[in-house]
Amino acid sequence: MSTHSVRFLHASDLHLELTLGGLTSVPAWLRDDFIDAPFKAAENVFNTAINENVDFVILAGDVLDIETAGPRAIDFLLSQFDRMREHKVKVYWCGGVVDDPDLWPVEIALPKHVHVFPTNAPKAFEFKRRDRVMATILGQSRRGADENRLTAYSMAAASGAKIAVAHGNFDKHTLQKHPVDYWALGGEHNSATVYQEQSAARYCGSPQGFSPDETGQHGCSIVAIEHGRASARDVTTQAINWHREPLQLAADSTRKDLEQSILNQSQHLQANNRSGLTLVTWDVSCSGPLANDLRNDRMCETILASISQKRDGRPNDNEVVSVAIELEPQLIADGKFEEETILGDFLRTVREYEQDPNRIFDLAEYLPETTVRHEVVSALSMSSPTERTKMLRRVAALGMELLSGETESLQHHTQ
Ligand SMILES: [Mn+2]
Protein backbone atom coordinates (compact mmCIF):
# COMPACT_ATOMS: atom_id res chain seq x y z
CA MET A 1 0.00 0.00 0.00
CA SER A 2 1.21 3.47 -0.87
CA THR A 3 2.02 5.88 1.96
CA HIS A 4 2.24 8.95 -0.24
CA SER A 5 -0.18 11.77 0.19
CA VAL A 6 -0.97 14.55 -2.26
CA ARG A 7 -3.67 17.20 -2.61
CA PHE A 8 -4.43 18.80 -5.93
CA LEU A 9 -7.04 20.73 -7.84
CA HIS A 10 -8.85 19.15 -10.78
CA ALA A 11 -10.50 21.53 -13.30
CA SER A 12 -11.63 21.22 -16.92
CA ASP A 13 -13.67 22.87 -19.65
CA LEU A 14 -12.87 26.47 -18.73
CA HIS A 15 -13.70 27.45 -22.32
CA LEU A 16 -12.19 30.92 -22.09
CA GLU A 17 -13.13 31.42 -25.77
CA LEU A 18 -16.86 31.32 -24.98
CA THR A 19 -19.39 33.81 -23.70
CA LEU A 20 -22.59 32.59 -22.09
CA GLY A 21 -25.29 31.90 -24.67
CA GLY A 22 -28.20 29.78 -25.77
CA LEU A 23 -30.82 32.55 -25.58
CA THR A 24 -32.85 34.05 -28.43
CA SER A 25 -31.52 37.43 -27.35
CA VAL A 26 -29.43 38.76 -24.48
CA PRO A 27 -30.67 41.92 -22.74
CA ALA A 28 -28.15 44.74 -23.20
CA TRP A 29 -27.64 45.16 -19.44
CA LEU A 30 -26.54 41.51 -19.12
CA ARG A 31 -24.04 41.50 -21.99
CA ASP A 32 -20.97 42.42 -19.91
CA ASP A 33 -21.82 39.72 -17.38
CA PHE A 34 -22.19 37.16 -20.19
CA ILE A 35 -18.73 38.04 -21.50
CA ASP A 36 -17.06 38.19 -18.07
CA ALA A 37 -18.57 35.10 -16.44
CA PRO A 38 -16.16 32.48 -17.90
CA PHE A 39 -13.19 34.61 -16.79
CA LYS A 40 -14.56 35.22 -13.28
CA ALA A 41 -15.31 31.52 -12.83
CA ALA A 42 -11.84 30.53 -14.09
CA GLU A 43 -10.23 33.09 -11.77
CA ASN A 44 -12.16 31.51 -8.88
CA VAL A 45 -10.61 28.17 -9.85
CA PHE A 46 -7.07 29.55 -9.56
CA ASN A 47 -8.00 31.42 -6.34
CA THR A 48 -9.18 28.08 -4.94
CA ALA A 49 -5.81 26.50 -5.80
CA ILE A 50 -4.08 29.22 -3.77
CA ASN A 51 -6.52 29.24 -0.84
CA GLU A 52 -6.48 25.47 -0.55
CA ASN A 53 -2.70 25.41 -0.80
CA VAL A 54 -2.72 22.48 -3.22
CA ASP A 55 0.39 20.70 -4.51
CA PHE A 56 -0.57 21.14 -8.15
CA VAL A 57 -3.38 21.85 -10.61
CA ILE A 58 -4.64 19.45 -13.30
CA LEU A 59 -6.41 20.97 -16.31
CA ALA A 60 -8.26 18.16 -18.08
CA GLY A 61 -8.85 19.86 -21.41
CA ASP A 62 -10.94 22.50 -23.17
CA VAL A 63 -9.19 25.35 -21.37
CA LEU A 64 -9.51 27.64 -24.38
CA ASP A 65 -9.90 27.33 -28.13
CA ILE A 66 -6.52 28.50 -29.30
CA GLU A 67 -7.80 29.46 -32.77
CA THR A 68 -10.89 31.45 -31.73
CA ALA A 69 -9.93 32.81 -28.29
CA GLY A 70 -8.92 36.46 -28.44
CA PRO A 71 -5.86 38.05 -26.84
CA ARG A 72 -7.85 38.65 -23.63
CA ALA A 73 -8.20 34.90 -23.02
CA ILE A 74 -4.54 34.09 -23.74
CA ASP A 75 -3.34 37.00 -21.62
CA PHE A 76 -5.67 35.99 -18.79
CA LEU A 77 -4.45 32.39 -18.83
CA LEU A 78 -0.78 33.41 -18.83
CA SER A 79 -1.34 35.74 -15.88
CA GLN A 80 -3.09 32.94 -13.94
CA PHE A 81 -0.12 30.66 -14.71
CA ASP A 82 2.11 33.42 -13.31
CA ARG A 83 0.10 33.45 -10.10
CA MET A 84 0.52 29.67 -9.85
CA ARG A 85 4.28 30.04 -10.25
CA GLU A 86 4.38 32.68 -7.48
CA HIS A 87 2.62 30.22 -5.19
CA LYS A 88 4.80 27.31 -6.33
CA VAL A 89 1.85 25.42 -7.79
CA LYS A 90 2.71 23.28 -10.81
CA VAL A 91 0.17 22.90 -13.62
CA TYR A 92 -0.46 19.75 -15.70
CA TRP A 93 -2.47 20.46 -18.83
CA CYS A 94 -4.05 17.76 -20.98
CA GLY A 95 -5.51 19.10 -24.25
CA GLY A 96 -9.15 18.34 -25.06
CA VAL A 97 -11.28 18.93 -28.15
CA VAL A 98 -10.65 22.67 -28.53
CA ASP A 99 -7.18 23.10 -27.01
CA ASP A 100 -4.91 20.86 -29.07
CA PRO A 101 -1.49 21.90 -27.67
CA ASP A 102 0.12 21.58 -31.11
CA LEU A 103 -1.86 24.68 -32.12
CA TRP A 104 -0.47 26.82 -29.30
CA PRO A 105 1.46 29.72 -30.90
CA VAL A 106 5.20 28.94 -30.83
CA GLU A 107 6.08 32.58 -30.17
CA ILE A 108 4.24 32.49 -26.83
CA ALA A 109 6.30 30.18 -24.66
CA LEU A 110 4.49 28.52 -21.80
CA PRO A 111 6.23 28.90 -18.44
CA LYS A 112 8.37 26.00 -17.20
CA HIS A 113 6.06 25.03 -14.34
CA VAL A 114 3.24 24.35 -16.85
CA HIS A 115 3.55 20.79 -18.15
CA VAL A 116 1.61 19.92 -21.27
CA PHE A 117 0.86 16.32 -22.23
CA PRO A 118 1.82 15.51 -25.83
CA THR A 119 -0.72 14.38 -28.44
CA ASN A 120 1.26 11.51 -30.01
CA ALA A 121 1.68 9.29 -26.93
CA PRO A 122 0.97 9.33 -23.19
CA LYS A 123 3.60 10.98 -21.02
CA ALA A 124 4.20 10.64 -17.28
CA PHE A 125 5.34 13.53 -15.08
CA GLU A 126 6.64 12.91 -11.58
CA PHE A 127 5.67 15.25 -8.79
CA LYS A 128 8.39 15.29 -6.12
CA ARG A 129 8.56 16.57 -2.57
CA ARG A 130 12.05 16.68 -1.03
CA ASP A 131 13.38 14.56 -3.90
CA ARG A 132 10.85 11.86 -3.23
CA VAL A 133 8.28 10.99 -5.91
CA MET A 134 4.87 11.70 -4.36
CA ALA A 135 2.77 11.21 -7.48
CA THR A 136 2.97 10.19 -11.11
CA ILE A 137 0.64 12.09 -13.42
CA LEU A 138 0.03 10.38 -16.74
CA GLY A 139 -1.85 11.85 -19.67
CA GLN A 140 -2.16 12.33 -23.40
CA SER A 141 -3.66 15.37 -25.08
CA ARG A 142 -6.30 14.80 -27.71
CA ARG A 143 -5.75 15.80 -31.27
CA GLY A 144 -9.01 17.65 -31.80
CA ALA A 145 -11.86 15.27 -32.56
CA ASP A 146 -9.69 12.12 -32.44
CA GLU A 147 -10.80 10.03 -29.50
CA ASN A 148 -8.35 8.93 -26.86
CA ARG A 149 -8.83 5.18 -26.36
CA LEU A 150 -6.39 4.95 -23.42
CA THR A 151 -4.84 1.80 -24.92
CA ALA A 152 -1.30 3.17 -24.59
CA TYR A 153 -1.78 4.30 -20.96
CA SER A 154 0.48 2.32 -18.68
CA MET A 155 0.69 2.93 -14.95
CA ALA A 156 2.04 -0.37 -13.66
CA ALA A 157 5.60 0.86 -13.04
CA ALA A 158 4.70 4.32 -11.73
CA SER A 159 5.73 5.47 -8.24
CA GLY A 160 3.74 7.48 -5.73
CA ALA A 161 0.05 8.20 -6.08
CA LYS A 162 -1.11 7.19 -9.54
CA ILE A 163 -3.08 9.89 -11.31
CA ALA A 164 -4.24 9.69 -14.93
CA VAL A 165 -5.70 12.53 -17.01
CA ALA A 166 -7.88 12.20 -20.12
CA HIS A 167 -10.51 14.14 -22.06
CA GLY A 168 -13.49 12.35 -23.62
CA ASN A 169 -16.24 9.85 -22.89
CA PHE A 170 -15.02 6.90 -20.85
CA ASP A 171 -16.90 4.13 -19.09
CA LYS A 172 -16.07 2.52 -15.78
CA HIS A 173 -15.00 -0.74 -17.44
CA THR A 174 -12.33 0.92 -19.64
CA LEU A 175 -10.99 3.06 -16.79
CA GLN A 176 -10.80 0.27 -14.22
CA LYS A 177 -8.49 -1.79 -16.46
CA HIS A 178 -5.70 0.56 -15.34
CA PRO A 179 -4.15 0.59 -11.84
CA VAL A 180 -4.96 4.27 -11.24
CA ASP A 181 -5.80 5.95 -7.90
CA TYR A 182 -7.60 8.88 -9.51
CA TRP A 183 -8.80 9.55 -13.05
CA ALA A 184 -9.01 13.33 -13.64
CA LEU A 185 -11.43 13.49 -16.56
CA GLY A 186 -12.57 16.36 -18.76
CA GLY A 187 -15.17 16.85 -21.46
CA GLU A 188 -18.39 16.91 -19.39
CA HIS A 189 -19.71 20.33 -18.38
CA ASN A 190 -21.76 18.92 -15.51
CA SER A 191 -19.73 17.14 -12.85
CA ALA A 192 -20.08 13.36 -12.67
CA THR A 193 -18.51 10.53 -10.71
CA VAL A 194 -17.83 7.47 -12.90
CA TYR A 195 -16.90 5.45 -9.81
CA GLN A 196 -15.77 6.12 -6.25
CA GLU A 197 -14.28 3.22 -4.36
CA GLN A 198 -10.75 3.08 -2.91
CA SER A 199 -9.82 4.74 -6.19
CA ALA A 200 -12.05 7.12 -8.13
CA ALA A 201 -12.81 8.48 -11.61
CA ARG A 202 -14.50 11.83 -11.93
CA TYR A 203 -15.51 14.56 -14.34
CA CYS A 204 -15.14 17.80 -12.36
CA GLY A 205 -17.39 19.73 -14.82
CA SER A 206 -16.84 23.26 -16.11
CA PRO A 207 -16.28 26.17 -13.68
CA GLN A 208 -19.29 27.95 -15.23
CA GLY A 209 -22.47 26.78 -16.96
CA PHE A 210 -22.57 28.25 -20.47
CA SER A 211 -26.20 27.84 -21.49
CA PRO A 212 -29.71 27.38 -20.01
CA ASP A 213 -29.27 23.58 -19.98
CA GLU A 214 -26.09 23.77 -17.86
CA THR A 215 -27.97 24.37 -14.62
CA GLY A 216 -26.88 23.84 -11.04
CA GLN A 217 -23.53 24.17 -9.31
CA HIS A 218 -20.37 24.38 -11.42
CA GLY A 219 -16.83 24.41 -10.12
CA CYS A 220 -13.68 22.41 -9.65
CA SER A 221 -12.63 19.54 -7.37
CA ILE A 222 -10.10 19.36 -4.57
CA VAL A 223 -8.73 15.82 -4.58
CA ALA A 224 -6.70 14.14 -1.85
CA ILE A 225 -4.94 10.81 -2.24
CA GLU A 226 -3.86 9.46 1.11
CA HIS A 227 -2.57 5.92 1.71
CA GLY A 228 -3.94 4.83 -1.66
CA ARG A 229 -7.43 6.16 -1.00
CA ALA A 230 -8.79 8.96 -3.22
CA SER A 231 -11.39 11.44 -2.01
CA ALA A 232 -12.75 14.52 -3.78
CA ARG A 233 -14.71 17.58 -2.76
CA ASP A 234 -16.36 20.08 -5.11
CA VAL A 235 -15.84 23.82 -4.79
CA THR A 236 -18.36 26.10 -6.54
CA THR A 237 -16.79 28.73 -8.78
CA GLN A 238 -19.54 29.90 -11.12
CA ALA A 239 -20.19 33.62 -11.53
CA ILE A 240 -23.73 33.15 -12.84
CA ASN A 241 -26.24 30.43 -12.00
CA TRP A 242 -28.59 28.94 -14.63
CA HIS A 243 -31.88 27.64 -13.30
CA ARG A 244 -34.92 25.94 -14.89
CA GLU A 245 -38.30 26.18 -13.22
CA PRO A 246 -41.40 24.22 -14.29
CA LEU A 247 -44.73 26.09 -14.55
CA GLN A 248 -48.04 24.23 -14.92
CA LEU A 249 -50.94 26.21 -16.38
CA ALA A 250 -54.58 25.28 -16.88
CA ALA A 251 -55.80 24.72 -20.45
CA ASP A 252 -57.78 27.97 -20.65
CA SER A 253 -54.94 30.16 -19.29
CA THR A 254 -54.20 33.46 -20.95
CA ARG A 255 -51.00 35.41 -21.44
CA LYS A 256 -51.91 37.51 -18.37
CA ASP A 257 -52.18 34.32 -16.26
CA LEU A 258 -48.73 33.24 -17.42
CA GLU A 259 -47.19 36.63 -16.62
CA GLN A 260 -48.78 36.56 -13.17
CA SER A 261 -47.47 33.04 -12.38
CA ILE A 262 -43.99 34.02 -13.52
CA LEU A 263 -44.05 37.11 -11.29
CA ASN A 264 -45.29 35.13 -8.25
CA GLN A 265 -42.81 32.32 -8.74
CA SER A 266 -39.94 34.80 -9.36
CA GLN A 267 -40.62 36.45 -6.00
CA HIS A 268 -40.48 33.06 -4.35
CA LEU A 269 -37.17 32.19 -6.06
CA GLN A 270 -35.78 35.64 -5.24
CA ALA A 271 -36.61 35.24 -1.54
CA ASN A 272 -34.71 31.93 -1.39
CA ASN A 273 -31.81 32.72 -3.71
CA ARG A 274 -28.30 32.34 -2.27
CA SER A 275 -26.58 31.35 -5.53
CA GLY A 276 -25.67 34.80 -6.85
CA LEU A 277 -27.11 36.18 -10.07
CA THR A 278 -29.59 33.56 -11.28
CA LEU A 279 -30.97 33.30 -14.81
CA VAL A 280 -34.28 31.49 -15.02
CA THR A 281 -35.76 29.56 -17.94
CA TRP A 282 -39.47 28.87 -17.43
CA ASP A 283 -40.52 25.44 -18.69
CA VAL A 284 -44.20 26.05 -19.31
CA SER A 285 -46.69 23.18 -19.61
CA CYS A 286 -50.00 24.26 -21.10
CA SER A 287 -52.27 23.56 -24.03
CA GLY A 288 -54.79 25.54 -26.07
CA PRO A 289 -54.32 28.99 -27.58
CA LEU A 290 -51.61 30.05 -25.10
CA ALA A 291 -49.46 27.08 -26.17
CA ASN A 292 -49.83 28.14 -29.81
CA ASP A 293 -48.71 31.64 -28.88
CA LEU A 294 -45.67 30.38 -26.99
CA ARG A 295 -44.45 28.41 -29.99
CA ASN A 296 -43.64 31.80 -31.43
CA ASP A 297 -40.24 33.04 -30.15
CA ARG A 298 -41.22 36.64 -30.68
CA MET A 299 -44.20 36.23 -28.38
CA CYS A 300 -41.96 34.81 -25.64
CA GLU A 301 -39.65 37.80 -26.07
CA THR A 302 -42.60 40.18 -25.70
CA ILE A 303 -43.72 38.49 -22.49
CA LEU A 304 -40.19 38.55 -21.05
CA ALA A 305 -39.87 42.23 -21.88
CA SER A 306 -43.16 43.10 -20.21
CA ILE A 307 -42.36 41.25 -16.95
CA SER A 308 -38.88 42.73 -16.50
CA GLN A 309 -38.93 46.43 -15.78
CA LYS A 310 -36.95 48.79 -17.97
CA ARG A 311 -33.42 49.01 -16.66
CA ASP A 312 -29.88 49.97 -17.66
CA GLY A 313 -27.67 49.15 -14.67
CA ARG A 314 -25.88 45.90 -13.90
CA PRO A 315 -27.88 43.22 -12.07
CA ASN A 316 -27.65 42.91 -8.29
CA ASP A 317 -25.67 40.18 -6.58
CA ASN A 318 -28.47 37.76 -5.80
CA GLU A 319 -30.92 38.92 -8.44
CA VAL A 320 -33.22 36.42 -10.15
CA VAL A 321 -33.78 37.31 -13.81
CA SER A 322 -36.20 35.64 -16.24
CA VAL A 323 -34.32 35.08 -19.51
CA ALA A 324 -36.33 32.48 -21.43
CA ILE A 325 -39.71 30.82 -21.76
CA GLU A 326 -39.83 27.34 -23.25
CA LEU A 327 -42.96 25.41 -24.02
CA GLU A 328 -42.85 21.83 -22.77
CA PRO A 329 -43.99 19.58 -25.62
CA GLN A 330 -47.31 17.91 -24.78
CA LEU A 331 -47.56 14.16 -24.69
CA ILE A 332 -49.21 12.99 -27.86
CA ALA A 333 -52.04 10.46 -27.43
CA ASP A 334 -51.11 6.95 -28.71
CA GLY A 335 -54.12 6.92 -31.04
CA LYS A 336 -52.71 9.82 -33.05
CA PHE A 337 -49.74 7.71 -34.15
CA GLU A 338 -52.04 5.09 -35.67
CA GLU A 339 -54.17 7.53 -37.71
CA GLU A 340 -54.21 6.96 -41.48
CA THR A 341 -53.80 10.67 -42.12
CA ILE A 342 -50.95 12.98 -43.09
CA LEU A 343 -50.59 13.75 -39.37
CA GLY A 344 -50.32 10.04 -38.56
CA ASP A 345 -47.62 9.58 -41.25
CA PHE A 346 -45.76 12.58 -39.93
CA LEU A 347 -45.86 11.46 -36.29
CA ARG A 348 -44.75 7.93 -37.18
CA THR A 349 -41.76 9.32 -39.07
CA VAL A 350 -40.75 11.56 -36.15
CA ARG A 351 -41.12 8.60 -33.77
CA GLU A 352 -38.82 6.46 -35.93
CA TYR A 353 -36.11 9.09 -35.62
CA GLU A 354 -36.66 9.37 -31.88
CA GLN A 355 -36.43 5.61 -31.36
CA ASP A 356 -33.22 5.27 -33.36
CA PRO A 357 -30.60 7.65 -31.94
CA ASN A 358 -28.14 6.63 -34.66
CA ARG A 359 -30.40 7.79 -37.44
CA ILE A 360 -28.95 10.99 -38.73
CA PHE A 361 -30.91 13.87 -40.11
CA ASP A 362 -28.82 16.46 -41.80
CA LEU A 363 -30.65 19.77 -41.60
CA ALA A 364 -27.76 21.43 -43.42
CA GLU A 365 -28.89 19.93 -46.75
CA TYR A 366 -32.05 22.07 -46.64
CA LEU A 367 -30.12 25.30 -46.25
CA PRO A 368 -29.76 27.72 -49.12
CA GLU A 369 -26.26 28.91 -50.01
CA THR A 370 -25.43 31.94 -47.87
CA THR A 371 -22.27 33.61 -46.66
CA VAL A 372 -23.11 32.68 -43.05
CA ARG A 373 -23.70 29.03 -43.96
CA HIS A 374 -20.92 27.81 -41.69
CA GLU A 375 -22.42 29.58 -38.65
CA VAL A 376 -25.94 28.35 -39.42
CA VAL A 377 -24.76 24.75 -39.85
CA SER A 378 -23.01 24.83 -36.47
CA ALA A 379 -26.14 26.32 -34.86
CA LEU A 380 -28.22 23.47 -36.33
CA SER A 381 -25.95 20.68 -35.16
CA MET A 382 -27.22 18.87 -32.09
CA SER A 383 -24.44 18.03 -29.70
CA SER A 384 -26.29 15.90 -27.15
CA PRO A 385 -28.92 13.12 -27.31
CA THR A 386 -31.09 15.14 -24.89
CA GLU A 387 -31.04 18.09 -27.25
CA ARG A 388 -31.98 15.80 -30.16
CA THR A 389 -34.93 14.27 -28.27
CA LYS A 390 -36.12 17.69 -27.15
CA MET A 391 -36.01 18.97 -30.72
CA LEU A 392 -37.94 15.94 -32.05
CA ARG A 393 -40.66 16.39 -29.39
CA ARG A 394 -41.03 19.99 -30.50
CA VAL A 395 -41.24 18.88 -34.12
CA ALA A 396 -44.01 16.42 -33.21
CA ALA A 397 -45.90 19.12 -31.25
CA LEU A 398 -45.61 21.53 -34.16
CA GLY A 399 -46.89 18.82 -36.52
CA MET A 400 -49.85 18.22 -34.20
CA GLU A 401 -50.66 21.91 -34.32
CA LEU A 402 -50.26 22.42 -38.06
CA LEU A 403 -51.67 19.14 -39.34
CA SER A 404 -54.54 18.39 -36.95
CA GLY A 405 -56.88 20.98 -38.46
CA GLU A 406 -57.50 22.52 -35.03
CA THR A 407 -55.13 25.44 -35.49
CA GLU A 408 -56.39 28.83 -34.48
CA SER A 409 -54.93 32.09 -35.59
CA LEU A 410 -51.70 32.80 -33.73
CA GLN A 411 -52.73 36.30 -32.90
CA HIS A 412 -56.35 35.47 -32.12
CA HIS A 413 -56.12 34.99 -28.36
CA THR A 414 -53.29 37.37 -27.70
CA GLN A 415 -54.21 40.14 -25.39
MN1 LIG B 1 -16.00 21.27 -23.18
Same domain, 231 and 338: no
Same domain, 143 and 44: yes
CA of 219 to the centre of ligand 1 (A): 13
Which of the listed residues 175, 208, 236 is the one where a domain comes to its end? 236
Same domain, 324 and 359: no
CA of 289 to the centre of ligand 1 (A): 39
Which of the listed residues 282, 303, 328 is the one where a domain comes to its end? 328
CA of 75 to the centre of ligand 1 (A): 20
CA of 304 to the centre of ligand 1 (A): 30
Please give the residue range of the domain that contains residue 258. 240-328
Tally of domains in the chain: 3
CA of 259 to the centre of ligand 1 (A): 35
Same domain, 33 and 159: yes
CA of 303 to the centre of ligand 1 (A): 33
Same domain, 316 and 345: no
CA of 97 to the centre of ligand 1 (A): 7
CA of 202 to the centre of ligand 1 (A): 15
Same domain, 75 and 188: yes
Same domain, 105 and 229: yes
Same domain, 306 and 161: no
CA of 342 to the centre of ligand 1 (A): 41
CA of 178 to the centre of ligand 1 (A): 24
CA of 355 to the centre of ligand 1 (A): 27
Which of the listed residues 328, 353, 383 is the one where a domain comes to its end? 328
CA of 220 to the centre of ligand 1 (A): 14
CA of 354 to the centre of ligand 1 (A): 25
Same domain, 156 and 52: yes
Confidence at residue 317, expressed as pLDDT on a 0 to 100 scale: 81
CA of 119 to the centre of ligand 1 (A): 18
CA of 287 to the centre of ligand 1 (A): 36
CA of 10 to the centre of ligand 1 (A): 14
Confidence at residue 292, expressed as pLDDT on a 0 to 100 scale: 81
CA of 99 to the centre of ligand 1 (A): 10
Confidence at residue 185, expressed as pLDDT on a 0 to 100 scale: 97
* Mean pLDDT split into 10-residue runs, the chain, 415 residues: 81 96 86 95 98 97 90 95 97 94 89 95 94 95 84 89 96 94 96 96 97 93 95 96 94 90 92 89 88 83 80 78 86 82 90 82 76 69 73 82 64 44
CA of 203 to the centre of ligand 1 (A): 11
CA of 62 to the centre of ligand 1 (A): 5
CA of 224 to the centre of ligand 1 (A): 24
CA of 188 to the centre of ligand 1 (A): 6
CA of 168 to the centre of ligand 1 (A): 9
CA of 129 to the centre of ligand 1 (A): 32
CA of 344 to the centre of ligand 1 (A): 39
CATH of the domain at 72: 3.60.21.10
d(C-alpha 232, C-alpha 95), whole Å:
22
Confidence at residue 332, expressed as pLDDT on a 0 to 100 scale: 76
Same domain, 232 and 378: no
CA of 374 to the centre of ligand 1 (A): 20
Contact 307, 259 (CB under 8 A): yes
CA of 383 to the centre of ligand 1 (A): 11
Same domain, 172 and 196: yes
The β-bridge partners of 137 are 125, 163
Same domain, 321 and 190: no
